[in-house]
Amino acid sequence: MKRSPGFLRRSIASALGVMSGWLGAYNSTDPRRKILELFKVQKATSNQALAYNLPNLVNQCRHLERNCPSARAISEGWVADVVGTGIDVAPDTGSSARDKIIREAWLEWAECAGVDGTSLWELQAQAMREVTVAGSHLWRFLVLPERAKEGKLPLAIMPLEVEWLSAHPVGPVNDFCLFANGVEMDRIGRPIAYHLIDPNFAGNVIYGERVPANLICHGFEKRRPFQALGEPILAPLVERLKQEEDLIKIELQAAQIAANFAVTIKSEYHDDAVDDSTEPQSVTDISPGTVTRLLPGESAEAFQSSRPNQAIGPFREMLRGDLAAAGRVPVKWLNRDYSSATFMNTRMEQADSKRMHKATQHWMARSVATRPYLEVLPWLLLSRGLAMPTEGTAAKKLVAHKILPDLPEYVDPLKDGQAALQNVNGNLSTLEEECSSRGKDWQKIALQRAEEKKFLDGLGLSMPDPNAPKPAAEKPAPAPKKKKPAPKPEADSQ
What pLDDT score was predicted for residue 494? 44
Q: Residues 250, 253, 256, 261: is their CA dihedral positive or negative?
A: negative
Helix (H, G, I), strand (E, B) or coil at 54: helix
d(C-alpha 3, C-alpha 11), whole Å:
11
Among 235, 251, 284, give the residue marking a domain's end.
235
Among the listed residues 131, 128, 106, the one whose alpha carbon sits nearest the alpha carbon of residue 119: 106
Among 209, 235, 261, give the residue marking a domain's end.
235
User: What tens digit of pLDDT does each residue of 405-436 get?
Assistant: 887 666 777 777 788 888 888 888 888 777 77
Q: Is residue 430 part of a domain?
A: yes
Cβ atoms 357, 386 nearer than 8 A: no
Helix (H, G, I), strand (E, B) or coil at 150: coil
Among the listed residues 211, 40, 193, the one whose alpha carbon sits nearest the alpha carbon of residue 180: 193
Name 438's Cβ contacts closer than 8 Å, sequence gap at least 6: 407, 409
Produce one character per residue of 366-379: b if its CB has 16 or more CB atoms within 10 Å, e if not: ebbbebbbebbbeb
Among the listed residues 259, 242, 243, the one whose alpha carbon sits nearest the alpha carbon of residue 302: 259
What pLDDT score was predicted for residue 21? 43
Q: Is residue 182 part of a domain?
A: yes
User: What tens digit of pLDDT does each residue of 226-239 get?
Assistant: 888 888 999 888 88
- Name the pLDDT band for 358 (thresholds 50, 70, 90): confident
What pLDDT score was predicted for residue 434? 79
What pLDDT score was predicted for residue 168? 85
Say if residue 308 is preceded by a cis peptide, omega within 30 of 0: yes
- Name the pLDDT band for 23 (thresholds 50, 70, 90): very low
User: Quick one: which H or E segment has residue 40?
Assistant: strand 40-43
Report the percent of the chain where pLDDT is more than 70.
Answer: 74
Among the listed residues 262, 182, 255, 277, the one whose alpha carbon sits nearest the alpha carbon of residue 220: 182
Q: Is residue 268 part of a domain?
A: no
Q: Is residue 450 part of a domain?
A: yes
What pLDDT score was predicted for residue 181? 83
Q: Is residue 341 part of a domain?
A: no
Q: What is the domain count for the chain?
A: 2
Provide the whole-model pTM: 0.70
Q: Is residue 99 part of a domain?
A: yes
Mean pLDDT of 291-298: 72
What pLDDT score was predicted for residue 267? 73
107-111, 287-291, 329-333, 422-426: which has the minimum mean pLDDT?
287-291
Q: Is residue 336 part of a domain?
A: no
Q: Is residue 1 part of a domain?
A: no
Mean pLDDT of 148-173: 89
* For residue 303, pLDDT beyond 60: yes
Among 202, 235, 268, give the residue marking a domain's end.
235
Task: Tell me the pLDDT of the chain averaged across its residues.
Answer: 78
User: What tens digit of pLDDT does each residue of 176-205 get?
Assistant: 888 888 899 888 888 999 999 888 775 555
Domain around 212: 45-235
Give the other-Cβ count within 10 Å of 7's Cβ: 13
* For residue 1, pLDDT beyond 80: no
More confident call, 215 vs 9: 215
